[in-house]
Amino acid sequence: MTRACWCRDCRYLAAGSSTINAVFKADVVKVSGEVTEYRSTADSGTAMRRGFCSKCGTPMFSAADSRPQVLIIRTGTLDDQELARPSANIWTASAPSWACMDTSLQAIEGQPT
């Protein structure tokens, strides 16, 4: 599942726009290289771990402490850019008025279940 996220945290990471995130089972993802972790609390109140490349600072992934079995990968880090096409826009209530959203995708105002 891949979604465009418009929450404020993701918009900080994406310099104002949404981030495109793919959901993977954590136990099937292999990360090579050094990753720096940042802990924060999301708009939903969930405690989050966010992984960044230690060398260049690129946001790579995030994981909610409440869902350790899931890893959210920033699709810009994937070698195959066609692998994860978004199926929904989430946190649309947090999007700015000028947001460019694909209106053919499902729009969810907050955190999907």
Tell me the mean pLDDT in the region 65-80: 91
Is CATH 3.30.70.1150 correct for 2-108? no
Q: Which structure tokens are listed for 35?
A: 């990753």
For the entire predicted model, the pTM comes to 0.81
Instruction: Give me the helices (H) in the chain, please.
Output: 8-13
d(CA 20, CA 39): 20
Tell me the mean pLDDT in the region 65-89: 90
- Kindly tell me if the per-residue pLDDT of 6 is higher than 90: yes
DSSP 3-state assignment of 100?
coil
Buried b (16+ CB within 10 A) or exposed e, 6-15: bbebbbebbe
- Kindly tell me if the per-residue pLDDT of 80 is higher than 90: no
Q: Where are the domains of the chain?
A: 2-108
